[in-house]
Structure 1
Amino acid sequence: MESALRKAKPVNSDLLQDAHAVFLPAFDNWDIDAVVTPFLAKGGRSILVGESRAEYLARRMSDERRRTESAAFFRDRLDRLTGGRGGVIIAVDEELAGIRRLEGLVPDLPTLEEATTMADREIEERCYENARAARALGVTMYLAPIMDVVTGGNPWLKGRTISPLPAEVARIGSAYIRGVQRAGITAVAKHFPGYDRLDADPAITDVSLSTPMDTVMENARTFSAAIAAATAAVMVGPAPVLAVDGENAACVSPAVIGLLRTGFGFGGLIVSDDLDAPATMRGRSVLDTALAGLAAGADLLLIAGGPHLSSLCHAVAQAAGEGRLPPERLSEAAERVRAVAAR
């Protein structure tokens, strides 16, 4: 990790707790006790039980995971990780199409083919049954639904989106949100403001959305529908939207997050996409990207989990203590996360 993270200095304990609270570390396996236990003890409030890169690309869980991971195993591992404490967000990717981290562990969500022929109430009920079972496992947040309207080439979202028709994305996505939140799962509508086409995967390439502003805003109507359906959280995208901000990735852009807050009237939790994606970092360090995201208005920062997590949290608290990040912005973000975690 960069040298800035190794220069640990004493920091205010409240700032340090706040800094732990604003990170959502992602893990692709269960051998994580040594990182997660101290993270939660120091104020962490969220973890993402994720999938491997191979599973992400395949859009399905591996045969090995399906064979070894039962519902009882999943629930027991979460209990061990959290020590039975409440107030911790346990997030997973559970998309209508594409990535379903709970594949084989909970009742299936409707397929897209099914959803397009189902009434809204039927979709909502199927999503409720899925989420109710997930809640019994200890899961509290779905990083879904995907509300992007994809009409062109987009290797990042290929096989993961609901429809090329904004009205269908709005209808089906809103029913998903109502269903899972009725079961006690926080929905995270993603990836604001929507990426109708991208030339490459932002997780591996510094790529930007060049769609004209009028089309961006037209496609973003799906997020208005998600907000009307009372989504508790919105994830902002990982690549620059040039029509709004030519320099910064959406999830670290004051202009894009300001559009979500002011233009779309969203008052809930704002989640970043992967902070360590090339299209998000754009040459910045992970620390500077995290500080930029918080300063822009993001509340919960998605980051790869690992041994670097402790020093990253310390560095963010140190930055707030030195005034490089307004401490009140860090506190505001942490309080939003804790409020969602406490539900």
Structure 2
Amino acid sequence: MPNPIELALGPLMVDIPGPILRAVDRERLQHPAVGGIILFSRNCVDAVQVRELCSEIHALRQPQLIIGIDQEGGRVQRLREGVTRFPPQASLGWAAESDGLDRARDLAEIWGELLGYELRQLGIDLDFTPCIDLDSGVSSVIGDRALHSDPYIVGELASHLWQGMDRQGLNGVAKHFPGHGNIAGDSHLELPIDLRPLDELEEDLRPFHRLVAAGIPAIMPAHVQYSALDELPAGYSSYWLQKVLRADLGFTGIIVSDDLSMAGAVGAGRIEQRVDAALAAGCELLLICNDEAAADQAMQHCLTRKLCAPRLTLLRGQDSPIDPTRLSSYRAAIEELRERFAKRFAKPL
């Protein structure tokens, strides 16, 4: 394998179409504007194949690209073969109701440690979890991805899940700031509009306060317009990202845009304009997924502007120190949680 090229990380996180790297994929991932890659289900055959893919990606350049994945559990788990099948994160909220918050906190840490161990063994640096939107009962795109409806419970469980991940060297992303759970619209398909004033949004913000205090390294804003406060969606809004997230909440980590190819993001214009709007608002890592042409246009635009993102090295995963003798008990605890949740809600997982 040739020596990696020396190249600073750029601000874009892109994807590839399949489970192996083609020559064109290697060329794209060695572009100066790229700083990371996100893996989807189409990239994940099983754990062995993903480990080999991650190894090849990390060998392409130095500093190494950041490898991310959506591995929340339930219906949002891109890699399913050769790793633990986690239930929806709502199962932790249900455990808090049925077994008490202390037991649910313990399960959340076990979940985070096991998730962190498994993904770090494969070479994955960053998991786009926890989802800390509140379960208001109106958002189908969030639904059982939400931990609970009570912001205190959400903050407690999410912070313990994150602490388990962190203990195993896996970085996390709290999403979707300042909260996507109280609106029915799906930002993959449209720009949802939340009409609530700030005093009503404070409940949604409480879990983000908790995760910032816990040291979460990255936060993802929602492609949602909170029209009582700003006409721009949160991911393009200096009000939300600079005033509220940075100044009010004191967040100093990496702000990661949601996918700029989603319908909720296209109102800013062409992909070049979307990139500029997200960067101007304060995003440092920009996702562009499922659209190779848009990714190529964005890469050229960033190259023209000579953009780089040196802070992205903060998202590189660390060595996982778990005691292997604990893995079987951890997996048994998650399997019991999974089975109880499926039985309680009559949902096949």
- Is 2:21 the partner of 1:40? no
CA–CA distance in structure 2, aligned partners of residues 336 and 244 of structure 1: 29
Question: Contact 1:96–1:145 at 8 Å: present in 2 too?
Answer: no
CA–CA distance in structure 2, aligned partners of residues 239 and 301 of structure 1: 16
CA–CA distance in structure 2, aligned partners of residues 172 and 211 of structure 1: 26
Aligned AA (1:72): V
- 1:46-90 CA distance string (max 9 Å, x none): 1000136xxxxxxxxxxxx9xx82211111122233436562211
- Is 2:313 the partner of 1:313? no
Residue in structure 2 matched with residue 131 of structure 1 by the alignment: 116
Question: Contact 2:272–2:297 at 8 Å: present in 1 too?
Answer: no
- Is 2:311 the partner of 1:296? no
Aligned AA (2:25): V
Residue in structure 2 matched with residue 223 of structure 1 by the alignment: 208
TM-score (normalizing by structure 1): 0.80
Aligned AA (2:26): T
- 1:74/1:170 Cα in 2 relative to 1: closer, same or farther (>3 Å)? same
Other structure's SS at 2:77 match? coil
Which of 250, 264, 268 in structure 1 is aligned with 2:234?
A: 250
CA–CA distance in structure 2, aligned partners of residues 257 and 307 of structure 1: 28
The more displaced of 97-106 and 132-141 is 97-106
CA–CA distance in structure 1, aligned partners of residues 261 and 222 of structure 2: 13
Question: Contact 1:142–1:187 at 8 Å: present in 2 too?
Answer: yes
Corresponding pairs, count: 300
**Cα deviation, residue 308, structure 1:** 4.3
- 1:185/1:245 Cα in 2 relative to 1: closer, same or farther (>3 Å)? same
CA–CA distance in structure 1, aligned partners of residues 187 and 121 of structure 2: 34
Runs (5+) with no aligned partner, structure 2: 1-6, 319-349
Which of 73, 83, 97 in structure 2 is aligned with 1:106?
A: 83
Residue in structure 2 matched with residue 83 of structure 1 by the alignment: 59
Residue in structure 2 matched with residue 204 of structure 1 by the alignment: 189
TM-score (normalizing by structure 2): 0.78
Other structure's SS at 2:158 match? helix
- 1:270-300 CA distance string (max 9 Å, x none): 0011112222221511110111000111000
CA–CA distance in structure 1, aligned partners of residues 147 and 253 of structure 2: 23
Other structure's SS at 1:149 match? coil
Aligned AA (1:75): R
The more displaced of 228-237 and 280-289 is 280-289
- 1:28/1:204 Cα in 2 relative to 1: closer, same or farther (>3 Å)? farther
- 1:184/1:218 Cα in 2 relative to 1: closer, same or farther (>3 Å)? same
**Cα deviation, residue 152, structure 1:** 4.0
Runs (5+) with no aligned partner, structure 1: 1-16, 53-64, 322-329
- Once the two structures are aligned, what percentage of the paired residues are identical? 25
**Cα deviation, residue 222, structure 1:** 0.3
- 1:233-292 CA distance string (max 9 Å, x none): 00111121213212x111111111011011110000000111122222215111101110
Question: Contact 2:126–2:315 at 8 Å: present in 1 too?
Answer: no
- 1:96/1:230 Cα in 2 relative to 1: closer, same or farther (>3 Å)? farther
Question: Contact 1:174–1:229 at 8 Å: present in 2 too?
Answer: yes
Q: How does 1:108-187 map to 2 (within 5 A)?
A: 108-109=85-86, 112-113=90-91, 115-116=95-96, 117=99, 118-187=103-172
- 1:203-244 CA distance string (max 9 Å, x none): 111321222211112221100111111101001111212132
Other structure's SS at 2:37 match? strand
Question: Contact 1:110–1:123 at 8 Å: present in 2 too?
Answer: no
Structure 1 outlier segments of 4+, above 4 Å = none
Superposition RMSD on alpha carbons, in Å? 2.4
Aligned AA (1:113): S
Which of 70, 79, 87 in structure 2 is aligned with 1:93?
A: 70
